[in-house]
Homo-oligomer: A and B are copies of this chain.
C-alpha cells in the first residue's frame, strides 16, 4: 500500500468511525455502545474482506493508529456534534473519500493474494460498504445500502476503473483516478438524483 493510500485510509477510518458514533448517539447507546458502533463501522468492511480472502491478522490489529483514530471519534462527536451536523457536506465528503479508498485497497489486497479480478471487484465493494451494513444491522435498521443512494454502485464503477487503469498506468496514478471516479459517481448520483431500477419507493 503506497503512503498516500495509508493517509487517506486513516482519513476514511476516522470518517467511518464518526458516522458510527453519530448514529450510536442518535440511538441513545451508552458510551461503550457508541464506541463499539464506531469501531464496527470503521473496520467492519476491511475485516470481513480479510476473513473472506484469508488474510491474517487484520491490518488494524497490527497498527494502533486505527485504535486511536476510532477512539478520537468520541471526543470529536461530543464536542463538535452541532458543527458536524451543520457541516453535513464535510462529513459526506470524508465519507465519500473513505469509501473510495476502501474500495481501491480492497481490490489491491484481493489481487495480491492471487484471487481473480471478479472476486477483487466484489471484495472492493465489500470493504467499502460492509462497515455501514454492520452498523445498520446492529442498530436494528434495514441497511441503508439496500435502498438509498448509489453508494455500492459508485464503488463498483471505481473498482472496475482501477482494474483497467492499473493495467495501463502506474499503481499510484490508477489509485488516484479510481478514487476520484468513486467520488464523482457518488456526487453525480446525489446531485442528479440517480436511482437504480427496482426501486419503486415513490409509490408510498
Contact = CB atoms under 8 A, between A and B. Distances in A.
Given A33-B146, A137-B137, A140-B140, A199 B61 contact: no
A30 B142 contact: no
Interface in A114-142: 115-116, 118-119, 122, 133, 137-142
Contact of A118 (B67, B198, B200): B67
A53 B47 CA distance: 11
Given A133-B138, A197-B31, A199-B29, A116 B54 contact: no
Contact of A31 (B33, B36, B67, B196): B196
Copies in the complex: 3
Interface in A25-60: 25, 27-34, 36-37, 47, 51-54, 56-58
A152 B32 contact: yes
Most chain B CB atoms below 10 A, which of A25, A28, A64, A133: A28
Interface string A85-113: 00000000000000000000000000000
Contacts of A145: 32-33, 36
Most chain B CB atoms below 10 A, which of A29, A37, A150: A29
Interface in A162-204: 195-201
A140 B47 CA distance: 22
Contact of A198 (B34, B36, B53): B34
A146 B138 contact: yes
Nearest to A77: B198
A75 B120 CA distance: 24
A27 B142 contact: yes
Contacts of A143: 33, 138
A28 B200 contact: yes
A25 to B, nearest CB: 6
11 contacts: A24-B146, A25-B198, A28-B200, A30-B150, A30-B198, A30-B199, A33-B143, A33-B152, A36-B146, A36-B152, A137-B137
